[in-house]
Chain A
Amino acid sequence: MTEGTNRRDFFKKGLFAAGAATAGAAAIGFAHQDENEISAGEKVKLLSQSGEIIEVDKADLKMAAVNTAEALEKITTGREGIPGRKFTMVIDLGKCRNARKCITSCQKMHHLPEDKEWLNVKLIKDNEKAAPYWFPKTCFHCDNPPCVKVCPVNATFKRTDGLVLIDNDRCIGCKFCMAACPYSARVFNWDEPEVPEGMTHEHYSPETSMPAKVGTVEKCDFCPDMLRENKLPDCVTACPNGVFYFGDENEDAVTNGDETVRLSALLSDRAGYRFMEELGTRPRVWYLPPHNRMFPYERGFKDLPEEHVEMYNDYLNSH
């Protein structure tokens, strides 16, 4: 395949993601489709603005982006968002039992060592009367990101599709973004990171965050390389309880891999909220309050080593 066709395919995928949504498949907008299959006469299902499912011919879909050299450059450096999209996540706190599958799959996907968590699950107790609950925390990809504001070299940036990414080729490692992030979402490569064999020469892109580099910052990136392929981020598919819903605000749809729901309806029916709204960071990650819980919080202690449980109990005792 020549580079030219590569790029064209790429755009078709982007376009597909922007316009098409196959409702019957596992996920709206995330079913992987080979562009070779796109031919006249084939229909795709789309979710209209009013929420109806409509069918259009694939051949009628127009490209969303203009194929200019500049646009390509931006995409290959990972700085331009996927056209027409606005990614968002909803985390259902009522379903989480600290299975930690999201964490391990994230670590596997990004080749992280065991003690480096881009995503973690906290045990939270809001006040002395409240019952504790498990709180999975990714990067919130804020719309008013404090980390992006303070970066002196534009190494961390906000994209049009809502993602906040880091270019570890440019990062000077001042850690200002880490100090500025109120959610402690960022981690630093304090020592030479262990890069698995075969990854060392991988061409770096902020979209894959691989390979990691010493003295630079990294964090949860919402797996943009998967998104480009219309796949869900790994934590979403890995969760056995369907805690994570991921989707596109423009389509007003999110899915946890099992069910696909309308974002606005989900948030309004289930009283969705954003963590510490008062900080004004406008996160792109929403939470559904932990009511009607599927599991008692102690279930989260099940497969944990003794010292972990102790740590959590210490926390509960002090709150």
Chain B
Amino acid sequence: MNIKDTSTSLLKEFAPQMGPWSWKGKTAVVILSAILLWGLYALYIQVFKGHGVTGMRDNVVWGLYIANFVFFIGISYAGAIISGILHLLRVNWRKPILRIAELITVIATIIGPIYILLCVGRLDRLHHLFMYGRIQSPITWDVLAISTYLVGSIIFLYLALIRDFAILSETNEIHIPNWRRKIYKLLSINFRNTPEQVKRLKLTLDVLSAIIIPTAIIVHSVLSWIFGMTLRPGWHSTIFGPYFVLAAIFSGTGVMIIVMYVFRNIYNLKRYLTDQHFRYMGYMLIVLAAGYGYFTFSEYLTDWYTSEKWDAELIDKLFSFEHYGWWFYFANFGGILVPLILIGIPKFRSVKTIVFSSVVLVAALWIKRYLIVVPTLENTLLPMQDLRPEYISYSATWVEWALTAAGVAAFILFFILMSRFVPIVPVWETSEYLEEIKLKTSDEKVLSEKRAREVKQESISVSTS
């Protein structure tokens, strides 16, 4: 079988996910849209009534929104590692999970910045960023970095899709409505799989994945510097850049595993999203958990050991059960130890425990972002002495929760819609991968036969001498 035949058979297998909606799919879309509408209603209230409807006040000027922003940009790292690092390292098993990773990146990078916009008091003046932009401000760095990253990831996703678009526009094996076929045709920009085209496409993808890696690192570093560049205890830390980058890769990998698991189950993709994939991703989680744990430890150890007044106050709040204790221990112990133990010890390691660890660590990292943003803002250098409790400590209002839920709903909804428009497992790359495996196994067969013959001959010559 050549690649073409493999891909045709693959396509047939993936056809159901792109066919008519199942009732489960329909309900999911209805529920998610309802949550999204609820969020839009909250947004309407916030825009027309002012930010007073949120829990943010003069001391805690940022809250849930910024935590969500960091979180979504963090999970966008799924694509950066899978299609960036693993691409350059030519790790072949990445191929079937490529598309999921890239979709996560693009969708999260679209949703994330919306949360920053939700913190902006005057959305009507956003153009000021371009009219009066100051390069000295970390916000400007963020605008530049994230927009570059978004454009880069969209291009990457698109280029990686071109071959599938071409296949989809031509295939007669599965039923595709004509209008859709036309769109695929248009999007495939005349890709006809000539050697020249393939060469160029591969080169472009190589270059892009080399660009995506530093861009991703820059994005999360400048994001951490929004905090790091202030004189606030808990924020003003030199390791914030790498710490955020690592946390982002960690949570990105976690979300990646969850999404893989969900799709594997609803679309029956066990053959392509194999246990092997989960195991490899699990190994990555161990390394990341260890690295992330190391950063976390050094961050809090140095603050606690020297115990400067403001740092000590913050640490007290984080560690005491009266304040953030439970959250803190869950975020910093649960999120690190659960994957280390469940995946690290072979006896416990299975697809289920890997997925479970991912859920725990993703939740832990979301809480962690909240714990970075809110307690520090509550911990002002001068005593707050305000009679209005909402000015002293932050608690999110329903508007903020609604918009948070809407972000998650939008993420899933986007994913469902995209998965119905393009195969969630890249047809072309996967066929290539399957062919390679076959080749490799047949090569190995040839090799081992040869080796066996040699051994035989050797033994003959030994016995004759």
- CB within 8 Å of B: which residues of A? 115, 120, 122-124, 135, 137, 146, 149-155, 170-176, 178-180, 182-184, 186-192, 214-216, 276, 279, 281, 307-308, 311-312, 315
Contact = CB atoms under 8 A, between A and B. Distances in A.
A176 B226 contact: yes
B387 A190 contact: no
B87 interface: no
A122 B62 CA distance: 24
Given A214-B50, A312-B385, A175 B231 contact: no
A247 B274 CA distance: 75
B383 A281 contact: no
A172 B138 contact: no
Contacts of A151: 134, 137
Contacts, number: 133
A190 B57 contact: yes
Pick the 8 closest A-B CB pairs, nearest first. A173-B121, A215-B121, A191-B52, A152-B139, A190-B52, A175-B61, A152-B137, A191-B50
Nearest to A123: B385
Given A170-B125, A183-B381, A214-B121, 20 more contacts: A120-B385, A124-B382, A124-B383, A149-B136, A150-B137, A150-B139, A152-B143, A153-B125, A153-B129, A170-B132, A173-B121, A179-B232, A180-B229, A180-B231, A182-B381, A184-B59, A186-B58, A189-B50, A190-B57, A308-B387
Nearest to A214: B50
B128 A215 contact: no
B19 interface: no
Nearest to A279: B231
Interface of B: 49-52, 56-59, 61-62, 119-122, 125-126, 128-129, 131-134, 136-140, 143, 226, 229-232, 377, 380-385, 387-388
**In terms of DSSP, what is the predominant structure of the interface of chain B?**
loop
A174 B121 contact: yes
Given A150-B229, A154-B134, A315 B383 contact: yes
Given A149-B136, A174-B121, A176-B137, A188 B129 contact: no
Contact of B120 (A115, A154, A174): A174
A284 B438 CA distance: 75
Contacts of A214: 50, 121
A171 B122 contact: yes
A81 B120 CA distance: 29
15 contacts: A120-B385, A150-B139, A152-B133, A152-B134, A175-B61, A175-B121, A178-B61, A179-B61, A180-B230, A182-B231, A182-B381, A184-B58, A188-B121, A190-B50, A312-B385
Contacts of A311: 385, 387
Contacts of B131: 153
A277 to B, nearest CB: 13
Given A183-B382, A311-B385, A315-B385, A172 B125 contact: yes
Contacts of B229: 149-150, 180
B58 A188 contact: yes
B230 to A, nearest CB: 5
B130 to A, nearest CB: 9
Given A171-B122, A178-B58, A192 B50 contact: yes
Given A150-B137, A183-B382, A191-B50, A173 B230 contact: no
B128 A172 contact: yes
A142 B351 CA distance: 57
A279 to B, nearest CB: 5
Contacts of B49: 191
A276 B143 CA distance: 33
Contacts of A152: 129, 133-134, 137, 139-140, 143
A214 B58 CA distance: 14
Contacts of B381: 182-184, 276
Contacts of B50: 189-192, 214-215
Contact of B382 (A150, A184, A191, A308): A184
Contacts of A180: 229-231
